[in-house]
């Protein structure tokens, strides 16, 4: 079996995603033994992205190795894509309505205003 055949023997080709069925690293990304070392499966298949670029999963499936589900994006853009997908603030409150677009958490804002008022009361 060639290394390439071994690679594809670990991939489950579905109707949409091509899922990696072998081991993943702690971040959930596919890992592959290339005969010399354990490497990340996606760069092994597609090559490393250009400096400053990341590969983003359009399907949001970290274990997917389907080339057309992966898009090279600049790292700053990548961070923005994921921030826009987030549905809750860092404290786990759901963004809603107008705040969803601005990524401002009303619950956290209310809480910090309340805290600030309380502190003011203590001082005065
Ligand atoms: Zn996919
Ligand atoms: Zn991504
Ligand atoms: Zn919040």
Q: Would you say 67 and 47 are in contact if contact means Cβ atoms under 8 Å apart?
A: no
What is the percentage of the chain residues whose pLDDT exceeds 90? Answer: 65
What are the tens digits of pLDDT across the range 80-94? 998 888 888 888 888
Same domain, 80 and 92: no
Same domain, 40 and 91: no
CA distances from 31 to 13, 41, 68, 71, 100 (A): 17, 5, 19, 19, 35
Structurally, the chain folds into a number of domains equal to: 2
Q: Would you say 85 and 93 are in contact if contact means Cβ atoms under 8 Å apart?
A: no
Asked if pLDDT for residue 100 goes beyond 70, the answer is no
Ligand 2: distance of its center to the CA of 67 in Å?
14
Same domain, 56 and 110: no
Same domain, 49 and 70: yes
What is the mean predicted confidence (pLDDT) over 36-55? 96
The range of the structural domain enclosing residue 105 comes to: 87-124
Ligand 1: distance of its center to the CA of 37 in Å?
25
Same domain, 22 and 53: yes
Same domain, 39 and 2: yes
Same domain, 10 and 49: yes
Ligand 2: distance of its center to the CA of 112 in Å?
31
Taking alpha carbons only, the member of 43, 51, 53, 101 closest to residue 76 is 53
pTM, entire model:
0.72
Same domain, 123 and 104: yes
Same domain, 48 and 75: yes
pLDDT band at 106 (very low <50, low <70, confident <90, very high): confident
Same domain, 28 and 65: yes
Same domain, 77 and 66: yes
Ligand 3: distance of its center to the CA of 107 in Å?
5
Same domain, 49 and 95: no
């Amino acid at each position: 079996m060639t290394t390439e055949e071994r690679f594809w023997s670990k991939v489950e080709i579905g109707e949409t995603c091509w899922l990696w069925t072998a081991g993943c690293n702690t971040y959930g990304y596919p890992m592959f033994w290339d005969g010399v070392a354990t490497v990340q499966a996606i760069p092994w298949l597609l090559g490393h992205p250009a400096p400053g670029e990341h590969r983003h999963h359009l399907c949001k499936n970290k274990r997917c190795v389907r080339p057309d589900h992966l898009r090279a994006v600049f790292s700053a853009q990548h961070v923005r894509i994921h921030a826009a997908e987030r549905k809750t603030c860092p404290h786990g409150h759901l963004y809603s309505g107008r705040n969803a677009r601005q990524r401002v958490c009303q619950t956290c804002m209310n809480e910090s205003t309340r805290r600030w008022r309380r502190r003011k009361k203590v001082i005065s």
